[in-house]
């Protein structure tokens, strides 16, 4: 099949490369000539494991190419995917659909023959209906149908997620459109991947509901971590005990500094705005959003407390800046909230991230300096903070870390070293997340009051 993907960002580039790996001929279109020129030279604009090789292989096979001219690419395509950004709109948090609408208008003018226009971008419920009206208004004679095919790609494992997904969701309105989408995903159907066909509105909601639920799991376990610190529990064991229940599952139950990235923050906000417009407030999701924002800011206070209550004049070594490992994505990363607060408190900050420093420089370069490797930033620091759980931070030479630090403080916001006592054996004062070692210093709880009354 011939396919056009509009947008060569994270979703568009990964989707286009993976569709070409299925055997389809894919043209990825972008308005940025410099970006297209770089892609044609084999330069990938994002870091995603395996993507460079996948693109190179399919370009060499003649199944994947890149272009600026949308009209030529769309004219012969059976399916055109819109994979442009839908950032949060300033002021109200709604998804900004201006790029989606602009792409749809250009597509309408170029289609020939029956064409399925597919929203791969994350769009609020009702967008498919609005786009279909826009297409018919722009090109009254065009034979088009809008479908919804939300993406569920995790940064760092996006290719695996596309090639071996838990499910494929397709929102369609006719048998003709279903036949086109079935042809596109036939390789996955042969592997018995569940493909859910439903109406467009349902497909659009599935994406938002899925992300909101995962964000809720993260928010929940973070609050349980805070409770563990007060009452003497260990959140890692709590999460394991919960996750062994098949109704709950272990994923997204890792306590930390709060969620970030390109999806959860903007999608939870967009879902809240949609629900408000529909007169059906989502109070649980609203609480999750507020708790996550508060948590990111509070992480700086944890670091300051671990340093004795002040970081004025102290050097802090940060390991990791991106919102998660195996990506260079800095969008909504906890580091964007933590670094400025530490800087304002008087800290000197040195940071190292395996892939994110180029992306972090324009965002945080005024507030920190970068080092060549973990030990370069740790040398002479008053504390080391693990902010992103890159694999190379899981195998630090802790004896060397202890020798290099000016003060033996380790703040592990990802609980990389949360199991066992290895940091302490090397003389480090270890501070994890959701560990109740300091519960004796916490204010009395209701449980404490009842226990004391019983003893009296």
263 is catalytic: yes
What pLDDT is stored for residue 437 in this prediction?
A: 65
Residue 391: pLDDT band by 50, 70, 90 thresholds? very high
What mean pLDDT comes out for the span 437-443?
45
Kindly report, residue by residue over 229-285, the tens digit of the pLDDT.
999 999 999 999 999 999 999 999 999 999 999 899 999 999 999 999 999 999 999
Q: Which residues, other chains included, contact 293 with Cβ-Cβ below 8 Å and sequence gap of 6+?
A: 258
Residue scoring higher pLDDT (453 or 177): 177
In percent, the amount of the chain with pLDDT more than 90 equals 89
Q: Which two tokens stand for residue 61?
A: 């096979």
The predicted model gives 302-322 an average pLDDT of: 97
pLDDT at 316 over 80: yes
And the tokens for 429? 């004062």
pLDDT tops 60 at residue 50: yes
The full set of domains in the chain, from first to last, is 2-198 (3.40.50.720), 211-440 (3.40.50.720)
Whether 321 and 253 have beta carbons less than 8 Å apart is answered as no
Please name the helix (run of DSSP H) or strand (run of DSSP E) that holds residue 366, with its range, or none. Answer: none
Q: What pLDDT does residue 400 have?
A: 97
Options 28, 228, 263, 307, the catalytic residue: 263
Burial 62-93 (b: 16+ CB within 10 A, else e): ebbbbbeebeebbeebbbbbbbbbbebbeeeb
Confirm or deny that 86 is annotated as ligand binding.
yes
> Poorest-confidence range of 85-89, 167-171, 177-181?
85-89
Whole-number pLDDT of residue 445: 40
pLDDT at 215: 98
Specify the pLDDT at position 257. 97
Instruction: List pLDDT tens digits, range 7-23.
Output: 999 999 999 999 999 99
Q: Is residue 155 a known part of a binding site?
A: yes
Residue with tokens 């003893």: 455
pLDDT at 441 over 70: no
Q: Which residues fall within 8 angstroms of residue 367, CB to CB, at 6 or more apart?
A: 339, 340, 342, 343, 349
Segment 126-152 mean pLDDT: 94
Residue 411 pairs with which residues in a beta bridge?
385, 431
Cβ-in-10-Å burial (0-12, 13-18, 19+) of 57 comes to: middle
pLDDT of 226 above 50 = yes
Q: Does 266 appear as a known binding residue?
A: yes
256 labeled binding residue: yes
Which of 88-102, 264-278, 400-414 shows the lowest mean pLDDT across its residues? 88-102
Query: Is 60 exceeded by the pLDDT of residue 446?
Result: no
CA neighbours closer than 13 Å in the CB half-sphere of residue 306: 25
426 is in an annotated binding site: no
Is 154 within any annotated ligand binding site? yes
321-379, pLDDT tens digit by residue?
Answer: 999 999 999 999 999 999 999 999 999 999 999 999 999 999 998 999 999 999 999 99
> Taking all residues of the chain, what is their mean pLDDT, rounded to a whole number?
93
Q: What percent of the chain has pLDDT over 70?
A: 96
């Amino acid at each position: 099949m011939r396919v056009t993907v509009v947008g060569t960002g994270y979703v568009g580039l990964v989707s286009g490369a993976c569709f070409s790996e299925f055997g389809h001929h894919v043209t990825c279109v972008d308005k940025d000539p410099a970006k297209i020129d770089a892609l044609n030279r084999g330069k990938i604009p994002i870091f995603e494991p395996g993507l460079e090789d996948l693109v190179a292989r399919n370009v060499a096979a003649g199944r994947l190419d890149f272009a600026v001219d949308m009209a030529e690419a769309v004219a012969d395509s059976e399916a055109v995917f819109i994979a442009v950004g839908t950032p949060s709109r300033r002021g109200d948090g709604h998804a900004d659909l201006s790029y989606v609408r602009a792409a749809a208008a250009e597509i309408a003018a170029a289609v020939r023959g029956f064409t399925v226009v597919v929203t791969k971008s994350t769009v609020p419920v009702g967008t498919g209906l609005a786009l279909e009206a826009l297409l018919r208004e722009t090109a009254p004679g065009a034979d088009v149908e809008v479908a919804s095919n939300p993406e569920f790609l995790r940064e760092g494992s996006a290719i695996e997620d596309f090639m071996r997904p838990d499910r494929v969701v397709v929102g369609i309105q006719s048998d003709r459109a279903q036949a086109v989408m079935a042809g596109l995903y036939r390789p996955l159907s042969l592997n018995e991947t569940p493909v859910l066909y439903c109406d467009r509105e349902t497909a659009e909601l599935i994406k938002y509901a899925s992300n909101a639920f995962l964000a809720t799991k993260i928010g929940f376990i973070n609050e349980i971590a805070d409770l563990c610190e007060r009452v003497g529990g260990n959140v890692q064991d709590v999460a394991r005990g919960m996750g062994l229940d098949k109704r709950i599952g272990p994923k997204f139950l890792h306590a930390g500094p709060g969620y970030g990235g390109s999806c959860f923050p903007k999608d939870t906000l967009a879902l809240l705005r949609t629900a408000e417009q529909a007169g059906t407030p989502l109070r649980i999701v609203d609480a999750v959003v507020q708790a996550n924002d508060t948590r990111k800011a509070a992480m700086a206070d944890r670091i300051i407390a671990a340093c004795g209550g002040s970081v004025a004049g102290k050097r802090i070594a940060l390991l990791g800046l991106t919102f998660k490992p195996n990506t260079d994505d800095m969008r909504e990363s906890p580091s964007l909230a933590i670094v400025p607060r530490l800087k304002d408190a008087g800290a000197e900050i040195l940071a190292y991230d395996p892939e994110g420093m180029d992306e972090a420089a324009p965002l945080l370069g005024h507030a920190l300096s970068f080092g060549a490797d973990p030990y370069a930033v740790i040398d002479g620091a008053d504390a080391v903070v693990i902010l992103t759980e890159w694999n190379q931070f899981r195998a630090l030479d802790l004896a060397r870390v202890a020798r290099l630090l000016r003060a033996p403080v380790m703040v592990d916001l990802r609980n990389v070293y949360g199991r066992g006592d290895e940091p302490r054996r090397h003389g480090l004062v270890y501070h994890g997340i959701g560990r109740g070692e300091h519960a004796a210093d916490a204010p009395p709880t209701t449980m404490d009051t009842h226990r004391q009354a019983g003893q009296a």
